Amino acid sequence: MRDFFFENRWCHQIRPLSWLLDRFAPIAGWTEEEMEEAREKGREFYAVKDSMDHEITSVSPKVGILFYSDNEMSEPLATK
Per residue in 34-73, pLDDT (tens digit) is: 999 989 999 988 888 766 655 545 556 567 777 677 777 7
Model pLDDT, residue 40: 92
Rounded CA-CA distance 4/9 in Å is 5
DSSP 2-30: HHHHHTT--TT--S-HHHHHHHT-S-TT-
pTM assigned to the model: 0.55
Rounded CA-CA distance 12/39 in Å is 19
Sign of the alpha-carbon dihedral angle for 42, 5, 37, 31: positive
Per residue in 2-34, pLDDT (tens digit) is: 777 788 877 778 888 888 888 888 889 989 899
Sign of the alpha-carbon dihedral angle for 44, 47, 50, 51: negative
